[in-house]
């Protein structure tokens, strides 16, 4: 059980918010989950870019400067921890979906202790394809908004089997991502990862892997991936900011090994710059 | 501005809930908006059926009996009002999307004064097609879950133009619904309404109209509707439990009249039984 050791709402140490909040009523908001190492937010600039894009898409006038200042303050004396920022449109000023424009965004920050590291996962995880599909919406794709029922239902699917992660496809049957991770396939000398412009999340660790692969001269392409292509991949790995890179050692009934490309990228991630 | 005159959380008169609620983090829950007339919940059985289906799909173990008892108590001394029930999975017991199964669902009820009746709307409303599309998911289609960003974005689109309602299509380009209403078309002697098994909400007033049309011997079909079919419709109308039936008098650039089928159904709705 990982419960937060610090919670703030609009900068105040309280653990409640009004039931009129549009985040509750409609999932009307965005979030970021940020890792802290030695008092600093890792990949702060990338998190900030995604948060800005989310606020732009939802027409949410969040004070992003103030949000990051608070996150940095929460990180300051921490060796390792996880910070979550939730930004909602604030209280509903009328009944119904309509936005009046006078709403005042609300900022919630939660600090969680660093979870027990799962050393075994760095040697490979078990992944199963789930039935729950990701709906497609160009307006909502890529950003980390609060409408996450698809991920919740996918997690419920894998809870019984004890798999580490569920692999999700879109309503138009492309491979998109894990429930909490992005996915990469290695085909011969090329790395491919699904586009996230119709569904899926533009993960910060995904962006870091793409950047570092390019810097290292590895061939990497964002593309449409059909489920049948999974069988051709010589390596498969998952990414997110907490786990870093997880090699996949079982994908449905297929066994895989953590391969040389995955190992090379894993080695690069520990000391990657911001 | 319509603010609630009564708010309860798990039966207690408080207006706050913990920031750890999964409704806030993921939109992990369902809601119902119920109209009250002369102290009674209108269409209680239909609301209850949909709520049960929503809880079943999300594996949410809500005490539905207790929820309806509370709604009935909130309705008792009211001539007219609107009740909203929000049921979430309750507090997150761990970080992340996974459901432990030990969560305790949370019930929020809000009572709103009856809004000023819009008599003009009963004579016809202006509707515009919006760009925001509805993502498709058979697991989430039909139920009234808390992931409503698509509706919020669609309302933002129509806010500037002052239209009464936005007409939404799915990612696979079928006509589905308004942002807060279901839609019906009249083609000659037949009434058609979009299927809501891949996206959209199975509206209570939609169900009442279908039932009453059938009882009255009108031909009605739930089907896939292409946007091009809108131009062929001789009548178009919208439904929800608060508005009842709104004839459409303008659909994008096309002018329409409230027709005989719409008028007949409107006449039937006022005194329909439960």
Q: pLDDT tens digits, residue range A251-262?
A: 999 999 999 999
pLDDT value of position A17: 97
Does residue B165 belong to the interface with chain A, where contact is any CB pair within 8 Å? no
> Quick one: three-class SS letters along B147-213?
CCHHHHHHHHHHHCCCCCEEEEEECCCCEEEECCCEEEEEECCEEEEECCCCCCECCHHHHHHHHHH
Is pLDDT of A273 > 80?
no
Q: Is A25 on the interface with B (CB under 8 A)?
A: yes
HSE-CB for A184 with a 13 A CA cutoff: 32
- Quick one: pLDDT band at residue A165, thresholds 50, 70, 90? very high
- Mean pLDDT score, A110-135: 93
Residues above pLDDT 90, as percent of chain A: 91
pLDDT interval class at B116 (50, 70, 90)? confident
pLDDT, mean of residues B155-179: 95
Summarize the confidence of residues B238-251 as an average pLDDT.
Answer: 97
Q: Which of B137, B152, B165, B199 to substitute to test the interface with A, most A CBs within 10 Å? A: B152
Mean pLDDT value across chain A: 96
pLDDT for res B120:
87
Neighbouring residues of B116: CB distance < 8 A, sequence distance ≥ 6? none
Per-residue pLDDT reduced to its tens digit, B85-104: 999 999 999 889 999 999 99
Q: Which residues of B162-172 are buried (b: 16+ CB within 10 A; e: fewer)?
A: ebbbbbbbbbb
Per-residue pLDDT tens for A10-29?
999 999 999 999 999 999 99
B121-133: pLDDT as tens digits: 989 999 999 999 9
Indicate if the pLDDT at residue B1 is higher than 70.
no
pLDDT digits over B15-50, tens only?
999 999 999 999 999 999 999 999 999 999 999 999
For residue A130, give Cα distances in angstroms to A135, A212, B54, B146, B149.
14, 30, 20, 22, 24
Asked whether the beta carbons of residue A24 and residue B26 sit closer than 8 angstroms, the reply is no
Angle of helix B260-269 relative to helix B204-215, nearest 10 degrees, comes to 110
Band (A232; pLDDT cuts 50, 70, 90): very high
Chosen from A89, A95, A111 to mutate, greatest number of chain B CBs within 10 A: A95
Question: What is the pLDDT at residue B274?
Answer: 73
Name the band, by pLDDT with cuts 50, 70 and 90, for residue A195.
very high
CA distances from A82 to A112, A115, A173, B81, B162 (A): 5, 9, 33, 44, 44
Chain B environment of A199 (Cβ under 8 Å):
135
Q: Where are the beta strands (DSSP E) in A175-215?
A: 175-178, 182-187, 190-194
Main-chain dihedrals φ then ψ at residue B261, nearest 5 degrees: -70, -45
- φ, ψ of residue A51 in degrees (nearest 5): -60, -45
pLDDT of residue A93: 92
pLDDT recorded at residue B119: 84
Q: What average pLDDT does chain B have? A: 96
Contacts of B95 in chain A (CB under 8 A): 2, 82, 84, 112, 115
Task: Please check whether residue B177 touches A, CB under 8 A.
Answer: no
CB contact under 8 A, B24 and A23: yes
Judge contact between B20 and A23, C-beta under 8 A.
Answer: no
What was the pLDDT predicted at B216?
A: 94
- pLDDT band for A189, please (50, 70, 90 cuts): confident
Decide if A142 contacts A127 (C-beta within 8 A). Answer: no
In angstroms, the separation between the Cα of residue A217 and the nearest Cα of chain B is 34
* Span A36-63, average pLDDT: 98
* Min Cα–Cα distance to chain A from B77, Å: 21
Mutate to test the interface with A, among B6, B10, B19, B138 (most CBs of A within 10 A): B19
The minimal CB distance from A146 to the residues B17, B20, B26 is found for: B26
Contact check, Cβ <8 Å, A98/B58: no
Instruction: Tell the burial category of A22 from Cβ atoms under 10 Å away from its Cβ (0-12, 13-18, 19+).
Output: buried
B-proximal residues of A, 60-89, CB under 8 Å: 82, 84, 86, 88-89
Select from B96, B108, B146 the Cβ nearest to the Cβ of A19: B108
Q: Which residue has the higher pLDDT, B181 or A271?
A: B181
pLDDT beyond 80 at A159: yes
Q: For A1, which residue in chain B has the nearest alpha carbon?
A: B94
Matching residue, tokens 């419709």: B233
């Amino acid at each position: 059980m990982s419960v937060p050791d610090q919670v703030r709402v609009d900068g105040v140490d309280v653990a409640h918010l009004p039931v009129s909040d549009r985040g509750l009523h409609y999932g009307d908001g965005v979030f970021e989950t940020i890792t802290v190492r030695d008092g600093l937010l890792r990949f702060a600039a990338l998190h900030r870019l995604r948060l800005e894009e989310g606020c732009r898409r939802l027409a949410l006038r969040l004070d992003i400067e103030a949000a990051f200042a608070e996150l940095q303050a929460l990180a300051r004396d921490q060796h390792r921890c996880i910070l979550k920022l939730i930004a909602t449109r604030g209280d509903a000023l009328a009944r119904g979906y309509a936005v009046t424009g006078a709403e005042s965004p609300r900022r919630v920050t939660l600090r969680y202790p660093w979870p027990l590291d799962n050393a075994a996962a760095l040697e490979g995880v078990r992944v199963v394809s789930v039935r729950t599909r990701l709906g497609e919406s160009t307006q909502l794709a890529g950003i980390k908004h609060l409408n996450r029922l698809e991920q919740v239902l996918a997690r419920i699917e894998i809870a019984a089997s004890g798999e580490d992660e569920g692999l999700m496809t879109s309503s138009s049957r492309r491979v998109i991502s894990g429930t909490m991770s992005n996915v990469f396939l290695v085909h011969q000398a090329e790395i491919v990862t699904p586009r996230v412009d119709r569904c899926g999340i533009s993960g910060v660790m995904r962006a870091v892997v793409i950047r570092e692969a390019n810097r290292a001269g590895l061939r990497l392409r964002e593309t449409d991936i059909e489920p049948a292509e999974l069988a051709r991949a010589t390596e498969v790995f998952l990414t997110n900011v907490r786990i870093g890179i997880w090699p996949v050692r079982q994908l449905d009934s297929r066994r895989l090994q953590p391969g040389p490309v995955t190992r090379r990228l894993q080695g690069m991630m520990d000391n990657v710059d911001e």
